[in-house]
């Protein structure tokens, strides 16, 4: 069965989510990846949505984090205040976000391109993404990679990654031990170096070379000597994804 790289992205991201853990879910591809993970290998993955849905069993992919489907058979139809408090109290294992720009330390911009007061492009803004990046123990980011999006300097920091490097999160008052964990793009999967907190390549997607990684980033990425290849999606995995993807998120 043929596949495209957006499908590889979503399935690779879904495989990172463990069963019996909680995830604060953002709009778009994060919702699709989380729903796929729950259907395929993590039936007890606890989804939490900004509008207040906690642990739903969604029959279909929601349009947004405020869609009524995010409350379907949920253990709680709560509030934004309650779910943000859950994150602040340390109960969110994963945060799952998209972004318009990311830098070498995993800081995210979803606010503006250009000057804040006179931007070239006004983006959706933070919503709950600052809280997610600040308080979830491990943040996953799924986004397309090119030189503009993998930016040497962000036009605005909406959600904190490792800020300016080692110890910067802790010095700013954020909980010790949290921060960005994985970045998934159409080219590969990335993590962050334990010492420098800079982005490093973890795996290359099928057919992608290290040259593609470097040509599509405005900052240096740590490239290990040995780089595994991301596992190709199986026919069953693809069928499940396509059945769930009612809005053709992976076909845009």
In the chain, where the domains are located: 5-98+127-143+160-209+221-245
Rounded to whole angstroms, what are the CA distances from 50 to 62, 142, 169? 13, 18, 23
170 vs 175: CA distance, rounded Å: 6
pLDDT tens track for 16-66: 999 999 999 999 999 999 999 999 999 999 999 999 999 999 999 999 999
DSSP symbol at 241 = H
Spell 184-220 as b/e; 16+ CB within 10 A means b.
bbbbbbbbbeeeebbbbbbbbbeebeeebbeebbeee
242 vs 252: CA distance, rounded Å: 13
190 vs 145: CA distance, rounded Å: 11
Residue matched to tokens 């994060």:
30
Q: Which two tokens stand for residue 101?
A: 């720009």
Q: How large a percentage of the chain has pLDDT more than 70?
A: 100
Q: Are 151 and 222 in contact (CB under 8 A)?
A: no
Residues present in the chain in total: 252
What pLDDT, on a 0 to 100 scale, did the predictor assign at position 84? 95
Mean pLDDT of the chain: 96
Rounded mean pLDDT, 101-130:
94
Rounded mean pLDDT, 165-191:
97
Would the pLDDT of 1 be above 90?
A: no
252 — pLDDT class (breaks 50, 70, 90): confident
What residues contact 133, with CB distance under 8 A and at least 6 apart? 95, 97, 108, 139, 158, 159, 160, 161, 180
Helices (H), 17-156: 29-40, 80-88, 129-135
Q: Residues 66, 70, 75, CA angle at the centre, nearest 5°? A: 125
Q: Residues 35, 38, 44, CA angle at the centre, nearest 5°? A: 135
Would the pLDDT of 125 be above 80?
A: yes
Would the pLDDT of 205 be above 90?
A: yes
37 vs 48: CA distance, rounded Å: 14
- The 3-state DSSP class for residue 14 equals helix
Question: Hey, which residues are catalytic here?
Answer: 50
CATH no., domain 5-98+127-143+160-209+221-245:
3.40.1080.10
Would the pLDDT of 81 be above 80?
A: yes
| Range from 88-92, 124-128, 200-204, 205-209 carrying the lowest mean pLDDT | 124-128
Q: How large a percentage of the chain has pLDDT more than 90?
A: 96
pLDDT tens track for 89-113: 999 999 999 999 999 999 999 999 9
């Amino acid at each position: 069965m043929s596949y495209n790289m957006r499908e590889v992205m979503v399935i690779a991201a879904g495989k990172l989510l463990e069963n019996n853990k909680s995830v604060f879910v953002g709009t778009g591809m994060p919702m699709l990846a989380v729903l796929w993970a729950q259907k395929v290998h993590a039936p007890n993955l606890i989804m939490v949505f900004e509008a207040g849905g906690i642990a739903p069993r969604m029959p279909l992919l929601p349009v947004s984090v405020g869609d009524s489907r995010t409350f379907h058979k949920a253990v709680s139809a709560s509030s934004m205040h309650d779910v943000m408090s859950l994150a602040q109290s340390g109960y969110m294992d994963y945060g799952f976000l998209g972004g318009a720009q990311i830098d070498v330390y995993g800081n995210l911009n979803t606010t503006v391109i250009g000057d804040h007061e006179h931007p070239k492009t006004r983006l959706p803004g933070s919503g709950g993404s600052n809280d997610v990046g600040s308080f979830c123990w491990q943040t996953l980011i799924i986004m397309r990679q090119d030189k503009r999006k993998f930016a040497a300097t962000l036009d605005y920091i909406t959600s904190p990654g490792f800020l300016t490097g080692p110890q910067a999160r802790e010095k700013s008052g954020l909980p010790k031990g949290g921060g960005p964990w994985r970045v998934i793009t159409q080219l590969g999967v990335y993590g962050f170096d334990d010492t420098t907190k800079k982005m490093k390549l973890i795996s290359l997607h099928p057919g992608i070379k290290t040259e593609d990684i470097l040509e599509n980033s405005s900052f240096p990425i740590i490239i290990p000597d040995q780089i595994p290849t991301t596992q190709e999606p199986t026919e069953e995995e693809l069928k499940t994804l396509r059945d769930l993807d009612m809005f053709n998120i992976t076909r845009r």
